[in-house]
Homo-oligomer: A and B are copies of this chain.
Amino acid sequence: MRHDTVEGSGLYAGASVSSVEYSLLPAEESAARISRLQEAVREEGLDGFLLTQNTDIYYLTGTMQTGYCFIPAEGEAVLYVRRSAERAREEAHIRTEELGAFREFGAKLAAGLATAVPPDRKRLIGTPLDVLPAQTYLKLADLLEPAGAVLADASPVMRQLRMIKSSWEIARITQAAQAAAEALAEALNDLKEGVSELDWMARYEYEIRKRGHIGLMRMRAYNQEVITGMVGAGEAAAVPSYFDGPAGGKGLGSAAPQSVSRRLFRRNEPILLDVGCCIDGYIIDQTRTAVMGELPEELLRAYGVTERIMRQTEKLLQPGIIAEKPYQEALHMAEQEGLADHFMGCGADRVRFLGHGIGLEVDEWPVLAKGFTMPLRAGMVIAVEPKFTFPGAGVVGIENTYVIQEEGPPLALTQSPEQLIVLP
């Protein structure tokens, strides 16, 4: 059996010292995921499923090597590897084959399709079209046509599958949360008047990287990027942004228009610390608000509202509650406080959600948003981030990541103390 961590074995041999660790996905995780996907494939009336994106392929097989993973409705899943075949063989928990010439890949897929499909209908292959580039989509569609197969957008199937986290996944997110909390505590020693957002972020990122942060955080949506989060002081946090969150940050320039800027920290202004960490591919998202001195009165009051929204949301993060409900309640609370136009951004640039699923990607399902009508379920991991934006003055808020339990209140995975960080 494969171990969670290998030390200098197989392909990674040659350095059998205990410091050499390489995290692998346990075989049981892969097997359970494939089984759940095949159930979903049959329920959707699909004949098979094709994975093309690195994160989806890793989720199912345990390797992120490039290629295509085909899962028939019944039978054995196969990973057709472009590169590196050697490494994929070592890491994947399913059979691997070299992809070879793209032209012949169609014939292999046709052979892999369930033979039970009646000849009088097209074979339907689900695949997440939210991430597959159109150029490759058109090539695959051409390839499958002679086999009587067509591609159907099955993005929601994959997103729903990944929505429910196993205890192994929750342990990974907790590990990232621990590293983020330690790094934040260290870096807070350097949060001082006259230090720039950029310099402070460099310090924070150094602390998470040493603890195993993989150096990037993945996002699924087209054109969305996340660095390690954002740090925003005063008005720099409140600059509107393309980033799909309540506060993207000003950034360093129009080619890096989010996260930190060169703005210096000052006294008596909110400093938003929305910084996470990614270990073993799994991401924690958390936000704390800091101030050197005192927050302006209106912002302090708004911060208090984010605390109350968080307490109310915790009551609602239970199996069976509809995902949009916590957002609606939070919006209602903001309205009652006369803060609706500052809630989750400002004016036209507000976002219409309170929280989002998180795991291998920052923007997973479910979203606590209007129109998201699926019921919450145990095992969902959700980052909840009530925030208020005041143009010219700053952003205040909190973000905690929770896992929904079978019964009772959700479990907070975030490890940093929640309260407003008041520095001298």
Contact = CB atoms under 8 A, between A and B. Distances in A.
A186 to B, nearest CB: 13
7 contacts: A20-B263, A22-B254, A58-B254, A65-B242, A129-B133, A129-B138, A214-B253
Interface string A261-275: 111100000000000
Nearest to A256: B214
A257 B65 contact: yes
Q: Interface residues of A toward B: which range?
A: 35 or more
Q: Which 10 pairs of residues, A with B, have the shortest CB-CB distance?
A: A255-B281, A23-B253, A134-B137, A215-B227, A214-B256, A84-B240, A202-B209, A14-B235, A129-B134, A129-B135
A12 interface: yes
A3 interface: no
B196 A252 contact: no
Contact of A22 (B196, B205, B206, B261): B261
Given A15-B235, A130-B135, A235-B14, A223 B280 contact: no
A11 B280 contact: no
A314 interface: no
Contacts of A58: 254-255
A85 interface: yes
Interface in A157-215: 196, 198-199, 201-203, 205-206, 209-210, 212, 214-215
A349 interface: yes
A118 B326 CA distance: 54
A388 to B, nearest CB: 17
Nearest to A348: B85
A131 interface: yes
Interface string A121-152: 00000000111111111100000000000000
Contact of A133 (B17, B131, B199): B131
A227 B227 CA distance: 10
A401 interface: no
Contact of A91 (B201, B254, B263): B254
Nearest to A82: B242
A22 B256 CA distance: 9
B198 A253 contact: no
Contacts of A155: 135
A198 B209 contact: yes
Contact of A86 (B137, B261, B349): B349
A240 B242 CA distance: 37
A24 interface: yes
Nearest to A228: B215
Contact of A349 (B84, B136, B198, B255): B84
Contact of A24 (B54, B86, B253): B253
A14 B394 CA distance: 11
A87 B201 CA distance: 23
A344 interface: no
For A20, A54, A64, A225, the residue with the greatest tally of chain B CB atoms inside 10 Å of its CB is A64
A51 to B, nearest CB: 11
A87 B257 contact: yes
A251 interface: yes
A251 B356 CA distance: 28
Given A19-B196, A223-B66, A83 B254 contact: no
A153 interface: yes
A254 B85 contact: no
A212 B14 CA distance: 37
A210 B198 contact: yes
B223 A54 contact: yes
A349 B84 CA distance: 6
Nearest to A141: B134
B240 A86 contact: yes
A25 B25 CA distance: 44
A60 interface: no
Interface string A74-118: 000000001111110001000000000000000000000000000
